[in-house]
């Protein structure tokens, strides 16, 4: 668990949650942030030591280990000093896991993590299980342990940033949905990004369950993982007998010696073929803990999706408008937009994370016009050629779409980029888009 003083480096939501968890266990903490501490702290942290601003060597005085928040970059002077001193580095998710008395279901991948995490928790709730969702999605696991201690299971989304510090994190059931280039602005090399993702699975053994789909790279990277396989497939029943699948236009599963149909694919409320795969992944993830077919079908039919993930936000003249601001890389934008059946006016751009915009343009022949915004707006427009327009801002893109849209078309914000050039996060970007659509419709 860790004895002695822990330096909490980075005081965002996960850092504060970790500090609360450690203090509740009687462990001393020192809060440090190379930007600024939150203006208000929970009362249980009122007596904690505090450091902020430019790193000073005394931050590490008497420190036994460093608990690193995922948003702290590898270039952090404080982190580099801690590593130079040989201090152990841990993270909030790992510390919470070591104090967690019930099984953890973990979800990672380059795309689809938040939807699968939320849907898995929803499917468990539909079967009467107390299984709150969190991790990289919203509430840190440490916060869940404090505020929902009666849970039977926890479902956590795990980012590569969080997994970097794993040494003992051990989910009972976990999925790697897919692997594709992302966060190259942080990692530089694709191999380093993949290596961080794969740390989630390092402690899994034969008594655990590994959920994999049809992503060849994910399957290859985890070929030696000793956990039991429970696959999901859009191409009919998976080999090996058990798992979830799409067949004859219906979502179904085989488990425990029985096969059950759940619902028609067309009845799934969240749109796109990629969401059929997400739904099947969530089904396989929860089967070892709750396999009531009626409850699963009820959960699938009642799940309305998440904000900023191909969320319908209104009409703009003849256009139906969708907010997919969470699509922060090329592969996520491709997965969401390619599954739409109508012609699309696409808004894309932001801070480039090393994405291939030529691949985006080539993979979306159904995009009639692409409006480039933010730092990468000109590059997006160039990739789409005659279909591209470099407009700079969301306001300009929405105005252009209102003028150029045709009946039956869709307007989709699916940026394929990070938001940090113009917004604090993808949520703020999505809310701005929603507001622009609603104001223009008035």
Catalytic residues: 113, 136, 183
Other CB atoms within a 10 A radius of the CB of residue 38 amount to 15
Burial status of residue 425 (CB atoms within 10 A of its CB: 0-12, 13-18, 19 or more): middle
Q: What 3-state DSSP class applies to 44?
A: helix
| Closest-CA residue to 14 (of 159, 119, 132) | 159
Radius of gyration from C-alpha coordinates of the chain:
22
d(CA 170, CA 15): 20
Neighbours of 278 (CB within 10 A): 32
**By the 8 A CB rule, do 33 and 57 touch?**
no
Distance of alpha carbon 383 from the chain centroid: 27
Please report which residue ranges of 159-227 form alpha helices under DSSP H: 160-163, 184-187, 190-198, 216-221
**Residue among 129, 173, 177 at smallest CA distance from 152:** 129
252: left (phi over 0), alpha (psi -120 to 50) or beta: beta
- φ, ψ of residue 418 in degrees (nearest 5): -70, 165
DSSP 297-331: HHHHHH----TTSSEEEEEETTEEEEE-TT--SHH
C-beta separation of 287 from 229 below 8 A: no
Tell the residue number behind the tokens 């307007």, with chain if given: 411
Q: In 3-state terms, what secondary structure has residue 365?
A: coil
How big, in percent rounded to 5, are the helix, strand and coil portions of the chain?
Answer: 35, 25, 40
Q: Which two tokens stand for residue 58?
A: 């005394």
**CA separation for the pair 57, 7 (Å, rounded):** 12
Token output for 80:
């580099």
Task: List the one residue out of 267, 231, 232 whose CA is nearest residue 249.
Answer: 267
Q: Please report how many Cα atoms fall inside a 13 Å half-sphere around the Cα of residue 393, on the Cβ side.
A: 5
Sign of the torsion formed by the C-alpha atoms of 65, 69, 74 and 77 = negative
């Amino acid at each position: 668990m860790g004895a002695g003083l822990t330096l909490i480096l980075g005081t965002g939501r996960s850092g504060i949650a970790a500090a609360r968890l450690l203090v509740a266990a009687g462990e001393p903490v020192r809060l440090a942030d190379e930007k600024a501490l939150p203006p208000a702290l929970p009362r249980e942290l009122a007596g904690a030591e505090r450091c902020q601003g430019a790193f000073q060597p005394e931050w590490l005085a008497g420190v036994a280990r460093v608990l690193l928040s995922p948003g702290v970059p590898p270039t952090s002077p404080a982190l580099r000093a801690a590593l130079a001193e040989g201090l152990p580095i841990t993270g909030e998710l790992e510390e919470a896991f070591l104090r967690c008395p019930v099984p953890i279901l973990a979800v990672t991948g380059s795309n689809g993590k938040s939807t699968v995490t939320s849907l898995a928790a929803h499917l468990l709730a539909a079967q009467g299980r107390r299984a709150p969702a969190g991790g990289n999605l919203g509430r840190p696991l440490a916060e869940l342990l404090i505020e929902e201690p009666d849970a039977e299971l926890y479902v956590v989304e795990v980012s590569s940033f969080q997994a970097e510090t794993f040494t003992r994190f051990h989910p009972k059931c976990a999925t790697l949905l897919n692997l594709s280039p992302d966060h190259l602005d942080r990692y530089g090399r694709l191999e380093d990004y993949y290596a961080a993702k794969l740390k989630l699975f390092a402690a899994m053994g034969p008594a655990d369950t590994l959920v994999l789909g049809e992503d060849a790279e994910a399957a290859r990277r985890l070929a030696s993982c000793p956990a039991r396989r429970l696959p999901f497939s859009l191409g009919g029943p998976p080999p090996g007998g058990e798992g979830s699948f799409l067949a004859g236009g219906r979502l179904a599963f085989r488990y425990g010696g029985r096969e059950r149909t759940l619902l028609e694919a067309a009845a799934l409320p969240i749109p796109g073929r990629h969401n059929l795969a997400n739904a099947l992944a969530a089904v396989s993830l929860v089967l070892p803990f709750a396999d009531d077919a009626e409850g699963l079908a009820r959960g699938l039919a009642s799940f309305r999706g998440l904000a900023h993930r191909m969320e319908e936000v209104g009409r703009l003249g003849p256009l139906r408008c969708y907010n997919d601001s969470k699509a922060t890389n090329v592969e996520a934008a491709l997965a969401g937009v390619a599954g739409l059946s109508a012609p699309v006016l696409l808004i894309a751009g932001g801070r480039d994370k090393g994405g291939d915009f030529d691949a985006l343009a080539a993979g979306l022949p159904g995009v009639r016009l692409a409006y480039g915004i933010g730092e990468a707006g000109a590059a997006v427009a160039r990739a789409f050629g005659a279909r591209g327009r470099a407009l700079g801002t969301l306001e300009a893109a929405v105005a252009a779409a209102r003028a150029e849209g045709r009946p039956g078309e869709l307007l989709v914000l699916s940026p394929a980029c990070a938001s940090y050039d113009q917004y604090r996060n993808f949520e703020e970007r999505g809310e701005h888009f929603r507001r622009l659509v609603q104001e223009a419709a008035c």
